[in-house]
Every structure is written in structure tokens, then in C-alpha cells.
Amino acid sequence: MRISITDRCNFRCIYCARQGPFTWIPHEEILTYEEIVTIVRTAVELGVFRVRITGGEPLLRKGVEDLIRELSTIDGLRDLSLTTNGYFLWEKAEALKEAGLKRLNVSLDTLNPQKFSQITGGFSLDKVWQGLFKAMELNFSPLKINVVIIRGLNDEEILDLAKLTLKYPWEIRFIEFMPVGNKELWDESHVVTIEEIRALLEAYSPLFPASSEGGGPARIFQWKEAVGKIGFISPISEHFCGRCNRFRITADGKLRTCLFSDQEIDLKDYLRGGKGSLKEAFALALKLKPEKRELHSTSRQMRAIGG
């Protein structure tokens, strides 16, 4: 289960959010930490044992370490991770580790400082890089790096990004560009398929199947000479609906059964409105979960859905 704890983000990534003014979710509509803990406890009772905290940028929300500490004490929750853009990792990584966070996913789409600034709306690659090494020093493992490949933007860096696994024990995960977020940028011609990416990497050196902690839709491989691993996630060219076991909860408490579906169950009706039990809401979500996703851009920004 993925839970977005905020729709706020310091980055203004060109593929995620439009430039210009934003309409933020009102504060009173955002789930409280107490409500999030209640949701997770219920989900664990129903069999969920992996939870990832997302945003927006989750490290922007005050007291995120306290939430991690509370969640890490839930009996039966075996895997607790967090997805971040990495900008605040240098300051936050140690407190997160002490609070009980086990794994990190960091979004990083380029190794070029100028391009990084262009993609993120003017931010420093160096600070993210420092955060990655801080996380590695603290033994967050596996440390997964999420890379969205967009034709004409960063596709010429595929091999350089993959080669990080030759030096660092990281898992570089290549993700196909999806129609979520900035609809103006979306065009199927911008998609670099996983088949193309894998062929490029295989031409450099043969890839061998490997395993990975945390589950999920990624297919994992490794170069023989590498200390790290390479993951492929193909939501466009080869959907993985048949093996999808995920729920997403938005920052304002909407339970979504599929990233590409706007069908939602408002958990605040159950938490605040007395509509019924949370277990009933999850049972309804299981019935509504689609067998196959429809490829279209959702009405919500990715920062609100949760990355």
C-alpha cells in the first residue's frame, strides 16, 4: 500500500506538474498522522505487510519522523519504505533511520546538473547526490533510484545511469513515461519502451535475472560485474495488471485501486463521517479493482496521488 502524506513538493518537475500557480489540497482535507496510523493498522490486519510513504515530497511534511516511528511499531508490518526526491535526505536520513525506516526510493532522472535544474525547476543535483551518499552511509538497503525516461530529454543517459550499478550497490529502476501529471507534455511518441532500454543495456553487457527486496512490478536484472541491480517497470508497453497487488491512498484520503483510474473511495467518510468500518472500505476496493487498466491521463496530479 502506498500512502501520500502531502501534495506539496519543492520541485516543479516538467513531467509531473504544470508550471505556474498551484491549487493545494486544503489543510483540513489532508489525512492526519493519527488517521494514517489507523488506516495502516487496519490494512495490516487484512493482510497488507508492505507500506510506502509518498507525496508530493513527504519530507516536506513536519513530523514525518514521528509518523515513521509510530508505523514501525505496528506488529505485522514487515516492510516500511519512503519515496523522496532526495533533496532533504542529507538533513533527514539519520532521523528517518533511527525512527525505523527500512528502505528508500529516490527519484533521479539525470546525472547532468544543468538538465537536473531544467527538469526540477531550478534545483541542485549536488544536494540530492549528497543525500544519496548519506543514505548509503546509513545502510538504507536496497537504495532504489527511480528513473523516468523521456525521449528527447534524458534517453541518451540510459547507459550512464545504469553504469552506476557497476560502482554502487544501488538498484537503478527504469520506468516508462506515463500519462500522469502534466498532460501538455504527454505524448506516446515520448515513451522509450523497456524493450528499447533493455536492448541498449544488453548490447553493453549481458543482463542476468536477479532478486530484489520490496516486491512490486519491477523485473530485476544485474550485470555480472556489477555490485548493484537494474530494474525495469513497463506500465505502457507491457501492463502488469494481472500481478498488481497495490492500493494507493491519496493525501486527502481517497483509496484508489489503480493509478490510471479515477475511481476512488473516500476513507474520510469512514474515518470522520461514520459511514462504516475501514475494513468495509477495503473490501469494496477489492471488488472495484480493475482487471486491466485503461491508458488515459487521470484528472489528478501525481503529487496528490502519490508516487
- Rounded to whole angstroms, how far apart are CA atoms 180 and 175? 13
Higher pLDDT, 184 or 60: 60
Q: Which of 216, 307, 295, 223 is nearest to 260 (CA)?
A: 295
Q: Where in the chain are the domains?
A: 2-305
Which helix (H) or strand (E) segment is 219 a member of? strand 219-223
Residue-level pLDDT at 304: 57
- Note the pLDDT tens digit of each residue in 83-134: 999 999 999 999 999 999 999 999 999 999 999 999 999 999 999 999 999 9
Contact 215, 2 (CB under 8 A): no
Name the residue with cell 520506468.
175
CB-based contact 267:39 (threshold 8 Å): yes
pLDDT of residue 13: 83
CATH number at 2-305: 3.20.20.70
Distance CA 298, CA 179 (A): 8
**What percent of the chain shows pLDDT beyond 70?**
85
H-assigned helices in the chain:
33-45, 64-71, 89-99, 113-120, 125-137, 158-162, 164-167, 194-204, 268-271, 278-288, 302-305
pTM (2 d.p.): 0.90
CA distances from 119 to 20, 71, 154, 256, 281 (A): 15, 33, 10, 28, 38
pLDDT band, very low/low/confident/very high, at 254 (cuts 50, 70, 90) = very high
Measured CA to CA, the distance from residue 306 to residue 7 in angstroms comes to: 8
pLDDT of residue 183: 58
